[in-house]
Amino acid sequence: AFLARMAKEIENVCYFKIETAGAASKLRELIRLGGEAIEGPWDGEEAITLLPDLQAGATGAMTGGGFPDGIRQIMDAWAAGDAEGATVAYGKWLPLINYENRQGGILTAKALMKAGGIIACEDPRHPFPAMHPEVRRGLLDTAKRLDPLVLRWGR
């Protein structure tokens, strides 16, 4: 209710990244209460909850940016009114989405970019710990099966 009130009362407050458990229910309520003042209700869980969040009215997602071509397949199908196509694309990319959301976190994009020759160093800033080597291996094995642009872009 507070976010909806902010959207209605404060100029330029109209986009919201919902990054919490039960995001779809919270998105529905935000949209219901805020109406037209809510221009951009977004999934904020690195797309792990993207499909239910889209069903709840989300218009986009805040992901880590490691594989936007995969997220785009989901979003393009959804925007075209093809819920089945979005569901199929979501299922296809879900293993990599899971790695970003539940395993590699914010280091996922860096690991993918290094593997693709885009950046030279994937080290995190101190004091954040490095990605475990086995998690990195699983991430890259999963990504290779999907062939995201990030693995080819810098080559």
- The CA-based angle 98-120-110, given to 5 degrees, is 15
36, 61, 105, 128, 136 from 122: Cα distances, Å = 41, 24, 13, 12, 11
Of the candidates 63, 61, 8, 62, the one whose C-alpha atom is nearest the C-alpha of residue 31 is 8
Q: Catalytic one among 17, 26, 110, 144?
A: 17
Mark whether 17 is an active-site residue.
yes
3-class secondary-structure state, position 11 = coil
Task: Give the separation between CA 152 and CA 85, rounded to whole angstroms.
Answer: 25
Q: Which residues are catalytic?
A: 17
